[in-house]
A and B are shown apart, each in its own frame.
Chain A
Amino acid sequence: MRRVISVLLLVFTVFVAFSAPYNTTIKVLAWDDALTQALKEGIPDFEKQTGIKVVLELIPSGNLLQKIGVSVSMDKTDYDLVTVDEPFVPALAHLFTPFNNWSAGKVYKKPNLSVFAPNAFEAAQWMGTFVGMPVNANVYIWITRKDLISDPKNKQEFKSKYGYNLGVPKTFKELRDMAEFFSTKGIYGFAPFTKQAEGTTAEAIFMFEGFGTRPLEIVNNRVVVALDDKKAVEAINFYKELLKFSPVGALDMGHSERIAAFNQGKVFTMFQWPALVPQHEDPNSSLVAGKITYSAPPVGPAGASAIRGCWVLGMPNASKNKDAAAEFAYWWASLETGTKLVPKGFTPARSDILLNPTMNKDRPWFKAIFDSMKGSIARPRFPQYAEASQIIRDNWLAAISGKVTPESAVKKMKDDLNDLLKKSGY
């Protein structure tokens, strides 16, 4: 009997091994947050379906580039897939296999561009080639306290003071007025991002775009400094105005400070990245869970914009497991995976999930992500972005904190950016 069972087990193992489309292991490097944690939970299913064993390594997003830098080169790689934040795609593009060259999946279908949220695939584009596949629709969305704007007393007082209806701020002017209004009622009107981090650069570019200018532009494949002095100064002054209605310590606020202030019910409105929204909606840690409304960011005098920072899945040229890696990417992007993993914290890049009414019932920010993606803009796309970001950030912070005048900060920002471009051979 024992012998029969052993033979049967052996036959079964051989059958399973040879019936799976693949029999290999891939290594994937990704950032660590709710999305990728949710992904982890779905991997056993993927492994069962394909026979591909996945080693998913998650590390803090701030250290991801360093890890890629030491693990991936032209001729060798420790990973078959790596995730890259959008602004850094140009710096790494030469290391990746273009998406067009990724093989067709044996188990999961290779997605076409139309399934992704508007502009999401742009994140993976560099010099006219898609060098990877977007895996989330990461974009500024606007969060506003629903309970405050629906309060009849607030509504009436606001209308009598400003002459129009209180609601989700749709323009910069409305944002300013409403921030001022709530600050007189003991609630901070706005929570800025001012820490020495990438979020501050994003905030600066968001404001500049709102006033119709941008620090850098690509003209005929050449990067040029394009900041308009007058518009940039207006943007800085507007932000300084918003800071008057911001929490104590407004000049030293990062993600944790903003989340804490908003969750304590002290802030009326602010931008947020989708991955952080679940923290606001967790009743165990947020006093405002269920009291938030989501929208695209308010529109500046020059038009709509929302800073985009989609994560892109890149396949290193040196990977020896490209077919299996592509299969994993297609599984990640599939409707089936998204639908299954959204309840576990997954944020999709697909329009069909973002617009799904059932999904939006529990996650009302999905529709806001889709709307924001329509007007989304990228941060300057060129290989030296990290250095440019530092220049923008330092000068922006110097100006909004009053250390220097907006005029001199803008001049210095332009001079420093010009120096950087010169040094980089542009």
Chain B
Amino acid sequence: MKRKRTFKHWIFILPALILVISILVYPIFYSIYMSAYDWNLFHSDAKKFLGFGNYLSLFKDREFLHSLWLQLGFIVIALPIETIIGFFVAILLNRDGKFYDVVRALLLLPVFVLPVISGLTWRMLLQPEYGMISFILEKLGFGVKAWLAEPNFAYSMVIIQDIWRMWPFMFMFIYAGLSGMPKEYIEAAQIDGAGLWKKITKIVIPYLRPTIATALLLRLIDALRIFSEVYVMTGGGPGNSTLLLSLYINKQAFEFFNIGYAAAMGVILLIVALIIAFFIVRGNIQFEGEKG
């Protein structure tokens, strides 16, 4: 029997609706409005309407394209690695016992480290004279170097730092999904003579697909707004080798004060996020109304 929606329903929804509109919908529309102007924060009175002018300029801006490329590269490299590590560690630690409980809890620690602290810690680890990683690299024969002053290395380190901090997040999700998987599935596969690889690819992964997709979606949102750890580690440098899109938006908005232009970049970032999210959700996550 279908319940009739009444006015009362809306009263209960209203507080949440107001909150969502004021902190999510309004800023999005305001950003779109700002992006249509040549708007300098210090000359707000002299803003000029450009229409799609900022968007057209963006695609001629080499710096923007470069930072978008770096941002996408970051997502494409970091997220799968985090997922793979999280997945296999979850399988490894999907056992009962006090020891496993403790190990699982300890593995989660990096997730609780504030991004800015993580960035500073990695910066110290890579400090040429005293940093532990620099020391190890020196002993391995790579010499003494300012590693974060090397463009490719700096970009790799930003990614490695993120993997170190966030793979336990993926682990947490996948382990939760795995521990809820009925044991009968695996037992049946074993009776049928399936090996480890078969069990993983034919049973575990299909079963965990919605869980992994949800975790990936959350990580994607997080990865698109990565900022503070990169800001303190490299400041976007050397040159522009780690100037991810979020850092470039910050630079345009709060260093050059071109807030109209920065808003246009923000809108592009939102569109990119929606496109990637669409592909992650489609076919992987089923919502309540779609079941059956």
Chain A contacts to B: CB under 8 angstroms: 65-66, 69-70, 73-74, 91-92, 94-95, 194-197, 247-253, 257, 383-384, 386-387, 390, 394, 397-398, 401, 403
Contact = CB atoms under 8 A, between A and B. Distances in A.
Nearest to A385: B256
Interface string B219-259: 00000000000000011111110000000000100111100
A66 B254 contact: yes
27 contacts: A65-B254, A69-B41, A69-B42, A73-B44, A92-B42, A94-B43, A194-B149, A195-B235, A195-B237, A196-B234, A248-B128, A248-B144, A248-B146, A249-B127, A249-B149, A251-B149, A252-B128, A252-B148, A252-B149, A252-B238, A257-B127, A383-B42, A384-B256, A397-B237, A397-B239, A401-B149, A403-B151
B41 A249 contact: no
A153 B186 CA distance: 80
A249 B237 contact: no
A316 B43 CA distance: 14
Interface of A is mostly: helix
A94 B44 CA distance: 12
Given A249-B127, A250-B146, A386-B257, A398 B42 contact: no
B257 A69 contact: yes
Given A66-B254, A194-B149, A387-B256, A247 B129 contact: yes
Contact of B238 (A249, A384, A397): A397
Contacts of B288: none
A73 B43 CA distance: 8
B42 A248 contact: no
Contacts of A70: 41
Given A69-B257, A196-B236, A386-B255, 4 more contacts: A73-B44, A94-B43, A250-B146, A387-B256
B129 A249 contact: yes
A317 to B, nearest CB: 12
Contacts of B237: 195-196, 397
B209 interface: no
A271 to B, nearest CB: 20
Contacts of B129: 247-249
Interface string B22-53: 00000000000000000001111100000000
A18 to B, nearest CB: 40
B128 A73 contact: no
B199 interface: no
A251 B42 contact: no
A74 B42 CA distance: 9
A140 to B, nearest CB: 22
Contact of A73 (B45, B145, B234, B254): B45
A257 B82 CA distance: 32
A251 B45 contact: no
A69 B254 contact: yes
Contacts of A196: 234-238
A401 B255 contact: no
B250 to A, nearest CB: 9
A257 B255 CA distance: 24
Given A69-B254, A252-B128, A74 B240 contact: no
A250 B148 CA distance: 11
Nearest to A72: B42
A14 to B, nearest CB: 44
Interface in B252-280: 254-257
B218 to A, nearest CB: 29
Contacts of A65: 254-255, 257
Pick from A70, A194, A196 the residue with the most CB of B within 10 Å.
A196
B41 A251 contact: no
Contact of B240 (A95, A197, A394): A394
B253 to A, nearest CB: 8
Contacts of A95: 42
B146 A91 contact: no
Contacts of B42: 69, 91-92, 94-95, 383
Contacts of B128: 248-249, 252
A91 to B, nearest CB: 5
Nearest to A194: B149
Nearest to A66: B254
User: Closest 4 A-B residue pairs measured CB to CB?
Assistant: A249-B128, A196-B237, A251-B149, A249-B146
Given A69-B42, A70-B41, A91 B235 contact: no
A73 B40 CA distance: 11
Nearest to A88: B42
Nearest to A387: B256
Q: Which of B44, B129, B144, B234 is most buried by chain A, counting CB atoms within 10 A of its CB? A: B129
A74 B41 CA distance: 11
A70 B254 CA distance: 10
Nearest to A395: B239
B110 to A, nearest CB: 24
Nearest to B129: A248
B239 A394 contact: yes
Contacts of A94: 42-43
Interface string B135-169: 00000000011101101000000000000000000
B238 A91 contact: no
A401 B153 CA distance: 14
Nearest to B128: A249
A251 B238 contact: yes
A250 B43 CA distance: 39
Nearest to A200: B237
A198 to B, nearest CB: 10
A410 to B, nearest CB: 16
Contacts of A394: 239-240
A403 B150 CA distance: 10
A100 B237 CA distance: 43
Nearest to A95: B42
Contacts of A383: 42
A236 to B, nearest CB: 15
Nearest to B236: A196
Contacts of B149: 194, 249, 251-252, 401
B258 to A, nearest CB: 9
With most chain A CB atoms within 10 A of its CB, the pick from B45, B144, B255 is B255
Contacts of B44: 73-74
Contacts of B127: 249, 257
Nearest to A75: B45
Nearest to B57: A423
A252 B146 contact: yes
